[in-house]
């Protein structure tokens, strides 16, 4: 981890190590990097860095530049400065949007990201362009539409790429399960969190209940540091009352309209509608839009390594079923439609023997490079 800290350039604030373990302290570190935004849900702080301590062997440096975008290398020139120079030198400007797979989970440093690999490959093929990484961890197309409309398009890109599928297959379906017919299209997950927080603050009973739950959570998180009995007590409490450890300010709950392992067909319809709207917004200013349907380990036929097989086997059967149902529906009903460039990368790893996945959807550097090669293969004729 020390080597990663040393890579952080001067002028970028380092906010600590984030383990995504659900603890309150971890929640606070995460919110140093990703702060609340009323339009997008949240977005990266400018000139900020944290280290994702995913495991003893897996540590990833997350960093944002002066403009809040992920740089392609360190040290970096800010995105807006790169765009300015690109215009001066008649270079095409490509933005790639997505969730954590684009943002950088799986990449030890930013130069291993999809955007960085794509820029190198395209320029090696004599396509004069720059690629800006506008991925944000946890984003689905609901978030990306807002980001595209109010931030990305104002920078006048020549091409916009949406690299999606995984987050929408779970998030939109989960919201429909939770809220059913009361689901509001266009609301992000964070929108519902705000609604719940507002309702929470309007009722004394709910405030008291959540305060007690939050206090219990903090007590056990501190107590688990006590040798021997602390850790055991924490694990026992988490097993007996798991809801105590849900984030009081970010989770949503409710009774689903679908059973586990089922997909509400509206989730696929809404996903496509978001993509179609993104294309319309881009076309209004002559920006070329392309959607790449991202591959998942559980939705393809990749020859798995021993580690990838363990990842696959650990994935709950209901989650595998949901992902495959969503992907099958999209490819059958929406992929053939001629509204915009709609490319499936579901089979991108079907002939790849090398280890590429670190979980169901995140890729290591080699996996990111393979995806970049597929994207470049399609994009090259578009850039000529």
Q: Predicted confidence band at 239 (pLDDT cuts at 50, 70, 90)?
A: confident
Cα distance between residue 177 and residue 273, in whole Å: 19
pLDDT at 189: 77
Tell how far CA 155 is from the center of its chain. Answer: 22
The structure tokens 């393809």 sit at 300
pLDDT, one tens digit per residue, over 181-218 is 888 888 877 777 766 666 666 776 776 777 777 777 77
Residue 254: what pLDDT? 38
Q: How confident is the model at residue 249 (pLDDT cuts 50, 70, 90)?
A: very low
Q: Are 102 and 115 in contact (CB under 8 A)?
A: yes
As a whole number, the mean pLDDT across the chain is: 89
Give yes or no for residue 295 having a pLDDT over 80: yes
Q: What is the pTM of this model?
A: 0.89
State the pLDDT at residue 211: 75
Question: Could you give the domains of the chain?
Answer: 79-176+263-383 (3.40.50.1110), 185-245 (no CATH)
Beta-carbon contacts of 60 under 8 Å, excluding residues fewer than 6 positions away, are 51, 52, 54, 104, 105, 106, 107, 108
Helix (H) or strand (E) holding 310: helix 306-314
Lowest model confidence (mean pLDDT) among 46-60, 124-138, 242-256, 363-377: 242-256
Strand order, beta sheet including 59-63: 13-18, 48-53, 59-63
Cβ 111 vs Cβ 74: under 8 Å = yes
pLDDT at residue 246 is higher than 70: no
The answer to whether the CB of 382 falls within 8 A of the CB of 129 is no
Q: What is the average per-residue pLDDT within 327-338?
A: 96
In order, the DSSP letters of 153-189 are GGG--SEEEEEESHHHHHHHHHHHHHHGGG--TT--H
Q: What is the dihedral of CA 44, 295, 110, 129, to 10 degrees?
A: -100
Given a cut of 70, whether residue 11 has pLDDT beyond it is: yes
Least confident of 46-50, 57-61, 113-117: 57-61
Answer yes or no: is pLDDT of 57 > 60. Answer: yes
Per-residue pLDDT for 244 more than 70? no
Taking the C-alpha atoms of residue 301 and residue 103, their distance in angstroms, rounded to an integer, is: 25
pLDDT at 110: 96
Res 251: pLDDT? 40
Instruction: List residues bridging with 289 in a β-sheet.
Output: 160
């Amino acid at each position: 981890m020390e080597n990663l800290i040393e890579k952080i350039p001067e002028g970028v604030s380092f906010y600590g190590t984030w383990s995504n373990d659900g603890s309150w302290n971890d929640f606070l570190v995460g919110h140093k990097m990703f702060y609340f935004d009323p339009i997008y849900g949240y977005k990266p702080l400018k000139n900020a860095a944290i280290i994702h301590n995913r495991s003893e062997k897996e540590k990833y440096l997350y960093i944002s530049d002066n403009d809040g975008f992920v740089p392609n290398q360190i040290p970096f020139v800010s995105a807006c400065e790169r765009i300015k120079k690109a215009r001066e030198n008649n270079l095409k400007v490509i933005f790639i949007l997505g969730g954590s797979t684009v943002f950088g989970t799986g990449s030890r440093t930013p130069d291993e990201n999809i955007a960085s690999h794509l820029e190198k490959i395209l320029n090696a093929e004599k396509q004069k362009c720059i690629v800006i990484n506008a991925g944000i961890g946890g984003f689905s197309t609901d978030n990306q539409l807002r980001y595209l409309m109010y931030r990305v398009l104002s920078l006048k890109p020549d091409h916009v790429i949406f690299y999606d599928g995984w987050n929408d297959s779970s998030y939109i379906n989960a919201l429909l399960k939770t809220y059913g017919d009361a689901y509001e299209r266009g609301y992000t997950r964070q929108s519902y969190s705000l609604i719940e927080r507002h309702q929470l603050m309007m009722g004394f009973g709910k405030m008291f209940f959540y305060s007690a739950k939050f206090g219990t959570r903090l007590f056990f998180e501190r107590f688990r540091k006590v040798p021997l009995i602390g850790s055991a007590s924490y694990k026992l409490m988490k097993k007996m009352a798991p809801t105590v450890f849900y984030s009081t300010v970010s989770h949503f709950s409710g009774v689903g309209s679908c059973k586990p392992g089922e997909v509400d067909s509206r989730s696929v319809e809404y996903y496509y509608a978001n993509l179609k709207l993104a294309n319309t917004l881009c076309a209004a200013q002559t920006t070329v839009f392309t959607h790449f349907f991202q591959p998942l380990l559980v939705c393809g036929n990749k020859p798995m390594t021993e580690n990838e097989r363990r990842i696959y086997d650990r994935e709950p059967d209901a989650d595998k079923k949901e992902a495959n149902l969503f992907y099958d529906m999209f490819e059958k009903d929406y992929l053939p439609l001629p509204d915009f460039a709609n490319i499936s990368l579901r089979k991108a790893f079907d002939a790849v023997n090398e280890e590429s996945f670190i979980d169901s959807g995140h890729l290591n550097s080699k996996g990111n490079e393979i995806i970049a090669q597929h994207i470049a293969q399609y994009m090259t004729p578009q850039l000529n």
